[in-house]
Chain A
Amino acid sequence: MAAVSYITAGIWNKWLLNWLVGPVWLVAVVCLGPPLTTWIRGELVGRLIGGRR
């Protein structure tokens, strides 16, 4: 996920391809990805349940 997104973004925005952004990208995806996924899933489930009511 981190690699695919970084490579794709990097090809079209080459300023991203530097030693600072690259490592930070991975750490950000690894650290923020799971809580973000959980939050989005919770939101979607919440809306789904709310919609059924």
Chain B
Amino acid sequence: MSWAAHQFEVYAIQAHLPKKMIGRVSFWAIFLGDFTPDFLAKFWVYGFTINGVHYGADVPHQWHRGFPGMGFTHTLFLGIALTAGFWVWRHNRGFAIGFLLGYAAHALTDINDSVGVMLLFPWVVNWTSQTWAYAATIEGGKYLDAAAYYSSLGLAMDVFWLIVVLFSWRVLTREHWRTNVVPADAGVWAFLSRYLPERGLLAVYRSIFFYGVCRMIAWTSWAHLVARPIIDGVARIGYPFDLSWTGPHWIPALSLRHVDPWLAYPVAIGLFALVFVAVSKLWEPMGRSEQRHRAARTPAPTPVAMSEPTGGWSSGSSQEEAGEARVD
């Protein structure tokens, strides 16, 4: 599994949207798409203990990524199905596309651990590059999982996504938020603006990045400076780093039935490219369909002599704000 990478990739996607989608794809949908797989599956992976009784998955990695289990939550299959559901329900192109991109990013990033994901579900075989060891176990829980991840190439993956975002640093600026993020989610930001000043709204936008950076530093610091593990019978100050493939060596890399790891990266990158091409091709037809549905839902406007000033914030639809009334 990946940790802070999932927070950073939300901004990486936001920063690298195709030109025609800039200011029109919902940031919150990207976040929701990226967040949903673990929201659905992860609570039971670590489980919880009350009065010495552990409640959780008997085999955490099978539950998280396998089938039977909740492994289907980390597949493009469910991402596409949920996106289709949102589209049929709301006919909101910016939300549907954002959700799919976020979901795909999460599912495809998770091929890196030794368990991987069922990329081509319903084909029940995992795809993994085995870049680092999947370490969620009942005994070790979240702490050992974090220690293993931040001692392995998992840390490198988090840093990689952080660098991607930092190279696109404008995505974190007030100007980008005002011009590209707010128009795509005008209703949400207008609602939040009732309770928060602008600096608070900007903090809300940046908060997922903030959380990613902080959790990466905090867990890494704890694992290497604070923790006092006993590994192979030797008491240590901090868990040892091991940046070798499928590391760290001091924990067994859990796995499920999978394809040849050499196939994982080409197929995952190919699938992500396919998703991008598909959403690019669908963008205009979905826009026309959205317009038709909106026109069908909206009663004929009555003429108004003067329009009232909105005072800066508008709860109007994103597409109207962004001039989407022009059919693409």
Contact = CB atoms under 8 A, between A and B. Distances in A.
Q: Do A and B come from one complex?
A: yes
A7 B211 contact: no
Contacts of A30: 199-200, 202-203
Given A17-B219, A27-B196, A31-B196, A22 B203 contact: no
Contact of A26 (B143, B211, B226): B211
Contact of B217 (A7, A14, A26, A27): A7
The residue among B142, B203, B217, B221 with the most chain A CB atoms within 10 A of its own CB is B203
B46 to A, nearest CB: 12
A50 interface: no
A18 B123 CA distance: 33
A23 interface: yes
A31 B207 CA distance: 13
B209 to A, nearest CB: 9
A42 interface: no
A27 B196 CA distance: 9
A23 B306 CA distance: 41
* Listed residue (A3, A6, A22) with the most chain B CB atoms within 10 angstroms of its CB: A22
Main secondary structure of the interface of A (DSSP, over half): helix
Interface residues of A, number: 18
B211 A14 contact: no
A44 B270 CA distance: 62
A22 to B, nearest CB: 3
Contacts of B222: 11, 14
25 contacts: A3-B210, A3-B213, A6-B210, A10-B214, A10-B215, A10-B218, A11-B218, A14-B222, A17-B215, A17-B218, A17-B219, A23-B210, A25-B210, A26-B203, A26-B206, A26-B210, A27-B196, A27-B203, A27-B204, A27-B207, A30-B199, A30-B200, A30-B203, A31-B199, A31-B200
Interface of A: 2-3, 6-7, 10-12, 14, 17, 19, 22-27, 30-31
